[in-house]
Copies of this chain bind each other. A is one copy, B any other.
Amino acid sequence: MKNVFTFVHMFTLAEENYMKAIFHLEHESADEVSTNAIAESMATKPSSVTDMIQKLAEKKLVVYKRYKGAKLTEKGKKIAANVIRKHRLWEVFLVEKLNFHWDEVHEIAEQLEHIQSEELITRLDKFLGSPDFDPHGDPIPDKHGVLKRTEKKLLSEIEKNQKGVCVGVKESSPDFLQYLDKKKISIGTKITVLGKEFFDGSMIIQVGNEQFFISHKIAENLYVQTL
């Protein structure tokens, strides 16, 4: 296909998605990311991943050694962070301005994150009041690609009788988010751990006036800041 956009730095949709996936994987495990891990996270085949990381290596966007996995260069990291910045800013737009619900915005942001225009993002950011977090509590990288990480814990990591305020979700699938809605949990909600079962990690928690049971699966996907 013909290159429709004429910008200085231009990466294809595929390239951007690979860099983004590697970025996320680097931050949730070792910094050498395996071919298989990338393939799984992108729902594609390892052979396709090998192809692409070799191309990205040519362009100095990742460092790659055969059989050793990939790792973003500074340049690659910046590009990835910028795509994530765009994704999260658009999510804020969709929720704050268009009144989408937080479980509906991800797919649309997956598309919007590839729109190429510095100026657009500068203005969108200002329009939104330069938000620091997206609707799922994820931090928005600044224009230099710097992502400040806050000290947050998984709900599953906090102890009995401790209190926390929900600051984000690890998973943001519609199913999970809708579960949280049902339980009246959203960003900013105060949660108290009333009981914790060692065997399966399940908990009894208090949210507002309600007390109820949650599984470990839930607790390990909710970020809180302890109070």
Taking beta carbons and an 8 Å cutoff, which residues of A are in contact with B?
A: 1-2, 4-5, 13-14, 17, 44, 94, 97-100, 104, 107-108, 110-112, 115-117, 119-120, 123-124, 127
Residue pair A117, B108 in contact (C-beta under 8 Å): yes
Chain A at the B interface: SS class: helix
List B contacts of A120 (CB < 8 A): 94, 98, 108
Residue of B nearest to A97 (CB): B127
Residue pair B123, A100 in contact (C-beta under 8 Å): yes
Residue pair B123, A99 in contact (C-beta under 8 Å): yes
Q: List 11 A-B contacts (CB under 8 A).
A: A2-B14, A4-B17, A5-B111, A97-B97, A98-B120, A100-B119, A108-B117, A108-B120, A111-B115, A111-B116, A115-B115
Residue pair B123, A115 in contact (C-beta under 8 Å): no
Q: How far is the CA of A1 from the CA of B12 in the complex (A)?
A: 11
Q: How far is the CA of A100 from the CA of B118 in the complex (A)?
A: 13
Residue pair B108, A123 in contact (C-beta under 8 Å): no
Q: How far is the CA of A108 from the CA of B116 in the complex (A)?
A: 8
- Determine how close the nearest CB of chain B comes to the CB of A194; give it in whole angstroms: 39
Given known contacts A14-B1, A119-B104, is B98 in contact with A127 (CB within 8 Å)? yes
Given contacts A2-B14, A107-B117, 17 further A-B contacts (CB under 8 A): A1-B14, A4-B17, A4-B110, A5-B107, A5-B111, A94-B120, A98-B120, A98-B124, A98-B127, A100-B119, A100-B123, A108-B115, A108-B117, A108-B120, A111-B117, A112-B112, A112-B115
Please list the 4 inter-chain residue pairs (A to B) with the smallest Cβ-Cβ separation, ordered nearest first.
A98-B123, A111-B115, A108-B117, A108-B120
- Determine how close the nearest CB of chain B comes to the CB of A42; give it in whole angstroms: 9
List B contacts of A123 (CB < 8 A): 98-100
Q: How far is the CA of A98 from the CA of B127 in the complex (A)?
A: 7
Residue of B nearest to A108 (CB): B117
Q: How far is the CA of A94 from the CA of B124 in the complex (A)?
A: 9
- Determine how close the nearest CB of chain B comes to the CB of A48; give it in whole angstroms: 9
- Determine how close the nearest CB of chain B comes to the CB of A55; give it in whole angstroms: 13
Residue of B nearest to A116 (CB): B111
Q: How far is the CA of A108 from the CA of B110 in the complex (A)?
A: 17
